[in-house]
Amino acid sequence: MRRMTARPANAHQARLLRLLRDGGPNSRAQLGDQVDLSRSKLAVEVDRLLETGLVVADGLAASRGGRRSHNIRLAPALRFLGVDIGATSIDVAVTNAELEVLGHVNHPMDVREGPVAVFEQVLAMAAKLKASGLADGYDGAGIGVPGPVRFPEGVPVAPPIMPGWDGFPVREALSQDLGCPVMVDNDVNLMAMGEQHAGVARSVGDFLCVKIGTGIGCGIVVGGEVYRGTTGSAGDIGHIRVEPDGRACVCGNRGCLEAHFSGAALARDAEDAARTGRSAELAARLEASGKLTAADVAVAAAAGDPTALYLIREGGNRVGQVIAGLVSFFNPGLVVIGGGVTGLGHTLLASVRTQVYRQSLPLATGNLPIVLGELGPTAGVTGAARLISDHLFSPA
Amino acid sequence: MRRMTARPANAHQARLLRLLRDGGPNSRAQLGDQVDLSRSKLAVEVDRLLETGLVVADGLAASRGGRRSHNIRLAPALRFLGVDIGATSIDVAVTNAELEVLGHVNHPMDVREGPVAVFEQVLAMAAKLKASGLADGYDGAGIGVPGPVRFPEGVPVAPPIMPGWDGFPVREALSQDLGCPVMVDNDVNLMAMGEQHAGVARSVGDFLCVKIGTGIGCGIVVGGEVYRGTTGSAGDIGHIRVEPDGRACVCGNRGCLEAHFSGAALARDAEDAARTGRSAELAARLEASGKLTAADVAVAAAAGDPTALYLIREGGNRVGQVIAGLVSFFNPGLVVIGGGVTGLGHTLLASVRTQVYRQSLPLATGNLPIVLGELGPTAGVTGAARLISDHLFSPA
DNA sequence: CTAACTTTCTCCACAGTCAGGACAAAGGCG
DNA sequence: CGCCTTTGTCCTGACTGTGGAGAAAGTTAG
């Protein structure tokens, strides 16, 4: 079939498309209740959208005491591709226009293999999803990469953990290969957008989304919009100092948060504990697989291993300390914790909460939920789909 | 004369008023170059503004090779009142519609005397300015208070250093007394707005404005707009922990930034140094006046006193440490340092810069100016005038 | 089954918004 | 003095958007 070519012609149409995306099918009358336009004007704009094929009217809804309404919905054949490139693995998903994930594949891969190899893999995964019948093509794609991005151009800038990506024209290259519009953003921002769209952050205007994976980052949402900073590096909290003269960090400094707690640091600490005999549980798991990950620590902690619990609590205290500072500064309405370490669950959360509630002032913490993300690995790909749909569902 | 009663009827008119406020008198043609409206539509809106009396056309500009243009300017009789209530003194200023300060008075007063006493003083100061012939009334007033504010209502909430102000209806009360519209905000936010309007932060979209006075706070500007947070306490960085098990703070915690460095902490440290014989210079000044302030330390430092210099550098390191974290997180395009301690000047600035440039990543610091505010005591009152003019120069 | 009512949707007349061209006013310059 | 530029005004025509009339399609009560 032909892909989406039209774009909303004005702000009203863009508004309607987003309402249909976020609220599902609606009648003209229901749409009218939400947009502050007269019924007549609304009808005109809906008709124009129907003409472009971006939305369709299919079937009649049940009567609510009067004439039955037509269901207006986004074109059911629209497909977005959400791509989340992590430090050690790639997630790719197809969504429909309502950003529901129809299919999701994951492939382990080190981002340091460089953009060419990674995108070869991404294209293969996109093709696989297509072959499985979930899509007959893509109308747009959102891409998340684990580092700062010059957003308007969709180009990574000076990414510390992705040598070889600096300046690579991700947006342009992928747009060419996929044959559809592409938007690129930091993976942490996409996670925030995902949780905002379909997760715990629905209806919260200002919030922080802390992603603890191989590294640590923080998505910042201000007034419902992702804040990216002057050079696209906003939220880069991994190198905030938490310990004077602490551990050496890859960035060249000492005592960075990321050096003391992150997926990578936790794995290192766990292996250390296993080798020095401080934890039989961890030692057994190291024996079995040759290396340890944050997931191993989570399992050991669930089994009651005191060393694992200690490591998680210590880490939680460190992150909590930083988050406490950010809460004082930013005064968010919600803090979401997500990423690979979500498996550490409530032990981690408890430490973070303790630090924040103890250190920050009551006015900022009084009504502040600190919660785990609820979308897990789909947060990033959902956010990616949201990114491109926000772009496409805005006036050209 | 009659005060301003009309408000802009639409967004175009609001836009025009702000252009005239920020750019001074303009011809219709010059305005047309800035607003993306046809000349005809522009002429209609200008005519309507002329009818309301908000703007006037007076005189002809010099020819630039063709027909001479009419000067369109904001009504010259418009007057705004800017009020900056600090912890220990009150600043009040009159401005014209272009927010130029026409008169400025200062009065020492402890904010803890409570809102009734403070506003009595404010009204007296406003009356004094009026009596001096600078204004025949006020069209609006902006008020800054040293604590968090529930912005839409203009009411202080849980202000730590202003007992007795919690919940006091500042906006309503003053609006009644002054007989004009009033807007209330945190003093730090107003300083940021002042520096944005007329100071070092012109044309910067995202920046931080750190005010170090009796306490420490930070104004946050995102996309040209002040960000206030969920409960109005954004920027409250005084109680971020900088020293595990550090000094006891009034907030009940230990190691808060404000306990280690602020105008109050610096004065305390200086008196301590004077009494323990570590600085003859400071001891002499203590002898002379009975107590020391940040200004005394500045003078001693300027005279080369090593203890004073040490205190400033130590303090700068502490603030710099916190700012470094905020820079990583927020990735601003500019950091402004202002408030009572601006007198500490470049010694302070050097320490802050050292910390930030050392601790934050190059992408965030590469093109980041860290500068002193250039408006001094007029920053707050200018920001206050800006606050109310932004309100009045927006569609009703 | 019919009448009355509700809800949804369409059609139409009218007021307002706005762009762009024609043109008048007012000056400079050779 | 004629030609140029700049500024400002006026007019037409296209488009935007409102609100009312009323048709379409259903439910409910008698």
Are A35 and A130 part of one and the same domain?
no
Residues having Cβ less than 7 A from any atom in strand D: A 10, 12, 36-41, 60, 63, 65-68; B 27-30, 39-40, 43, 64-70
**Residues B23 and B38 reside in one and the same domain:** yes
User: CA B193 to CA B390: how far, in whole Å?
Assistant: 11
Instruction: Mutation target for B interface from A240, A327, A357: give the one with most B CBs within 10 A.
Output: A240
Interface of A with B in 246-265 (CB under 8 A): 251, 253
The C-alpha of B393 sits at a distance from chain A's nearest C-alpha, in angstroms, of: 22
* B2 — pLDDT class (breaks 50, 70, 90): low
| Euclidean distance between CA atoms A239 and A241, whole angstroms | 6
**Helical segments of B106-186, H only:** 115-131, 170-178
**How many contacts (CB atoms, under 8 Å) link A and B?**
139
A272 within a domain of the structure (yes/no): yes
Residue nearest to nucleotide C24 (CA to C1'): B67
- CA–CA separation, A65 and A314 (whole Å): 61
Whether residues A36 and A184 fall in one domain: no
Phi and psi of B208, rounded to 5°?
Answer: -115, 145
Q: Quote the pLDDT of residue B237.
A: 96
- The pair of three-digit structure tokens given for residue B118, joined into one six-digit string: 């403070």
Residues B67 and B131 in one domain: no
**Beta-carbon contacts of residue A80 (< 8 Å; ≥ 6 apart):** A94, A95, A96, A97, A99, A138, A139, A140, A141, A142, A385, A388, A389
A232 part of contact set with chain B, CB < 8 Å: yes
In a domain, A6, yes or no: no
Where a domain ends, among A74, A91, A121?
Answer: A74
Tell me what the mean pLDDT of segment B20-37 comes to. Answer: 91
Question: In this structure, are B96 and B49 located in the same domain?
Answer: no
Contacts of B263 (CB under 8 A, 6+ apart): B212, B213, B214, B215, B293, B294, B339, B340, B341
Dihedrals phi, psi of B256, to nearest 5 degrees: -65, 150
Residue A20 lies inside a defined structural domain of this protein: yes
Instruction: Please indicate, yes or no, whether residues B181 and B223 belong to a single structural domain of this protein.
Output: no
Render pLDDT for B88-147 as a digit per residue (tens, 0 to 9). 999 999 999 999 999 999 999 999 999 999 999 999 999 999 999 999 999 999 999 999
Q: Does A240 contact B325 at a Cβ distance shorter than 8 Å?
A: yes
| Residue B299: closest CA among B270, B257, B273 | B270
Domain-located, residue A124: yes
Q: Using the beta-carbon criterion (under 8 Å), do A231 and B332 form an inter-chain contact?
A: no
- Give me the residues of B, 100-159, that contact A with CB < 8 A: 148, 157-158
What is residue A334's predicted lDDT score, i.e. its pLDDT? 98
| Statement to judge: residues B217 and B231 lie in one domain | yes
Partner-chain residue, chosen from B227, B228, B333, that has the shortest CB–CB distance to A230:
B333
Question: Which CATH number does the domain housing residue B22 bear?
Answer: 1.10.10.10
Instruction: Tell me how far apart the alpha carbons of residues B361 and B359 are, in angstroms, rounded to a whole number.
Output: 7
Count of domains in chain B? 3
Helix, strand, or coil here: B55? Answer: strand
Give the single-character DSSP code of B361. -
The answer to whether B52 and B104 are in contact (CB under 8 A) is no
Residue B296: inside a domain, yes or no? yes
Instruction: Give the separation between CA A241 and CA A236, rounded to whole angstroms.
Output: 12
Same domain, A326 and A220: yes
What is the per-residue pLDDT for A275?
A: 82
Residues of A in contact with B205 (CB under 8 A): 230
The encoded tokens of residue A106 equal 């994951």
Q: Nearest-CA neighbor of B253 among A354, A360, A351, A242?
A: A360
Residues paired with A89 in a beta bridge: A108
Q: DSSP for A100-152?
A: -EEEEEEEE--GGG-HHHHHHHHHHHHHHHHHTTS-SS-SEEEEEESS-EETT
Contact B234 A330 (CB under 8 A): yes
pLDDT at B1: 53
* φ/ψ of residue B250, rounded to 5: -60, -20
Within-domain flag for B6: no
A243 shares its domain with A104: no
- The residue assigned the tokens 């809906």 is A46
CA–CA separation, B247 vs B233, rounded Å?
23
> HEC string of B176-239?
HHHCCCEEEEEHHHHHHHHHHHHCCCCCCCCEEEEEECCCEEEEEEECCEECCCCCCCCCCHHH
Tally Cβ neighbours within 10 Å of residue B195. 28
* In-domain check, residue A297: yes
Contact at 8 Å (CB) between A375 and A101?
A: no
Judged on CB neighbours under 10 Å (0-12, 13-18, 19+), B214 is buried
For B220-255, the pLDDT digits (tens) are: 999 999 999 999 999 999 999 998 888 888 888 888
Q: Classify B262 as helix, strand or coil.
A: coil
Average pLDDT over residues B190-204: 97
Q: Are residues B124 and B211 in the same domain?
A: no
CA B72, CA B33: separation in Å to the nearest integer? 14
Boundary (domain end) residue, out of B42, B74, B106:
B74
Q: Where are the alpha helices (H) located in chain A, listed in sequence order?
A: 11-23, 28-35, 39-52, 115-131, 170-178, 187-198, 257-260, 263-275, 280-289, 294-302, 306-330, 345-359, 362-365, 378-392
Range of the domain at B300: 203-372
- Identify which of B158, B235, B253 has the shortest CB distance to residue A363: B158
Residue A90 lies in a domain: yes
Return the CATH number at A91.
Answer: 3.30.420.40
**Predicted local distance difference test score (pLDDT) of residue B96:** 96
The tokens of B124 are what? 């007296």
Min Cα–Cα distance to chain A from B369, Å: 12
Last residue of a domain, one of A48, A74, A100: A74
Find residue A144's DSSP bridge partners: A84, A185
Task: Answer whether B253 sits within 8 Å of A227, measured CB to CB.
Answer: no
Q: What integer pLDDT is reported at residue A322 of this predicted model? A: 96
- Residue B271 confidence (pLDDT): 83
Mean pLDDT by 10 residues, chain A (396 residues): 78 94 91 89 91 88 82 94 96 97 97 96 97 95 96 92 92 96 97 97 96 93 97 95 87 88 86 81 82 85 88 93 97 94 84 94 93 95 98 91
Q: Which run of H or of E encompasses B91?
A: strand B89-95
User: What tens digit of pLDDT does each residue of B265-279 get?
Assistant: 888 888 888 788 787
Residues A238 and A139 in one domain: no
What is the per-residue pLDDT for A1?
A: 53
Q: What is the pLDDT of residue A64?
A: 78
Q: Tell me the two tokens of residue B26.
A: 């303009």
In whole angstroms, how far apart are CA A65 and each of A31, A69, A70?
18, 11, 15
| Residue B53 distance to chain A (closest CA, Å) | 32
CA B189 to chain centre: 6
A329 and A250 share one domain? yes
* Interchain proximity A239–B206, CB inside 8 Å: no
